[in-house]
Structure 1
Amino acid sequence: MRILFATAIALLLVLFQAQTALSANLIARINISSQTMVVTHNGVVKHRWRVSTGRKGYGTPTGSWSAKWASRNHRSRKYNNAPMPYAIFFKGGYAVHATYETRRLGRPASHGCVRLSPNDAATFYQLANRHGLSNTRIVITR
């Protein structure tokens, strides 16, 4: 009887820890159709921002990735040394980063990255680094 009880308690602890680990994630959900990004932490919406994703001929990939690496003052090697401040890279050369062309937010305008206003990108950069890149998820849908 004690073994059964101990097994049940152990199983509950494992399930509780797994649920806690899942809910501790920072998630950025980008919707290409609405050109928005919603950031949640522990399932609670923390931010809603306008973005710019890939313009015609430059698609933004859809899917779900963990953040791979961060660069505070990155410059594009592919696009004429273009500034990509507060970059959080999630798939190859694709990143969530700041843009100084804020008038284009809310419509497709990038070469495939997800662009935010400088203040919003700085906030997301700080959140991702504070909570850990491995605990940060980028989810992009149409």
Structure 2
Amino acid sequence: MNTLFRLARWMVFAVPLILTQCTSIPELGALADNGSTSQRRIVVNLGEQKVRLYHQGKLVAVSPISSGREGKRSPVGSFSVIEKDADHRSSFYGNYVRDGKVVKENIDVRKGGRPPGSKFEGVPMPYFLRFSGAYGLHAGRLPGYPASSGCIRLPKRQAKRFYDAVRVGTPVIVQR
């Protein structure tokens, strides 16, 4: 009986925790080709470090995020998806490369000089959904706290699912 009690107690705490880490409610595949963008919206909650996708007012997906860190905060407000780029690369952050080898890494192209004979290679930002200026949602590293330069990072699988489920024009609400 003691083992059964421990298992039940574990499930009470673990199952909700596991479910909140998943992106699913139903599968999003059917949303990719279904209806207009007026039926969908993305809501980013910076305080919770979560993003939610709604379709016809119903929650259909939730994902953890990593938003902009101190000094490079993510913009707050009402926006819409203005560009989709599945293979986007950063225009500002990346490495200088020469002959296929990195000669200077983790740079901001707006600061410092380019080593002779090298070219800039931006950091990959797969499944990029631009919503304001240089800011967007995309696949990236999630350390468990705000760590980006202002973009909203999602796990790669979730970034693809959100990318496939929305179109240019989909509302994006970013709130603290």
CA distance in 1, matches of 2:39, 2:139: 22
What displacement does 1:112 show?
A: 0.2
What displacement does 1:25 show?
A: 2.5
2:161 corresponds to 1:123: yes
For residue 33 of structure 1, the aligned residue among 35, 41, 47 is 47
What displacement does 1:22 show?
A: 9.4
Structure 2 residues not aligned, in runs of 5+: 1-34, 95-121
CA distance in 2, matches of 1:22, 1:62: 24
CA distance in 2, matches of 1:95, 1:24: 19
8 Å contact kept, 1:23–1:41: no
- How do 1:76-115 and structure 2 match up within 5 A? 76-80=90-94, 81-99=122-140, 101-102=141-142, 104=143, 106-115=144-153
Residue of structure 2 equivalent to 1:44: 58
What SS class does the counterpart of residue 40 from structure 1 fall into? strand
Q: Please give the root-mean-square deviation of Cα atoms over the aligned residues, in Å.
A: 1.7
- Alpha-carbon spacing, 1:22–1:50, altered in 2? closer, same or farther (3 Å): same
Structure 1 residues not aligned, in runs of 5+: 1-20
Residue of structure 2 equivalent to 1:62: 76
Q: List structure 1 runs of 4+ shifted beyond 6 angstroms.
A: none
CA distance in 2, matches of 1:140, 1:87: 16
8 Å contact kept, 1:25–1:137: no
Identity of aligned residues (%): 33
CA distances 1:49-80 after superposition (whole Å, capped 9, x unpaired): 10000011111000011110100010001112
What displacement does 1:23 show?
A: 8.9
Residue of structure 2 equivalent to 1:10: none
Q: TM-score with structure 2 length normalisation?
A: 0.62
8 Å contact kept, 1:68–1:89: yes
Residue of structure 1 equivalent to 2:28: none
CA distance in 1, matches of 2:37, 2:146: 31
CA distances 1:90-113 after superposition (whole Å, capped 9, x unpaired): 0011000001x24x1x41010000
Which AA in structure 2 matches 1:133?
Answer: V
Q: TM-score with structure 1 length normalisation?
A: 0.76
8 Å contact kept, 1:23–1:42: no
Q: Which has the larger radius of gyration?
A: 2
Matched residue pairs, number? 115
What displacement does 1:24 show?
A: 3.9
What SS class does the counterpart of residue 85 from structure 1 fall into? coil
Q: Name the one with the larger helix percent.
A: 1
CA distance in 2, matches of 1:53, 1:75: 18
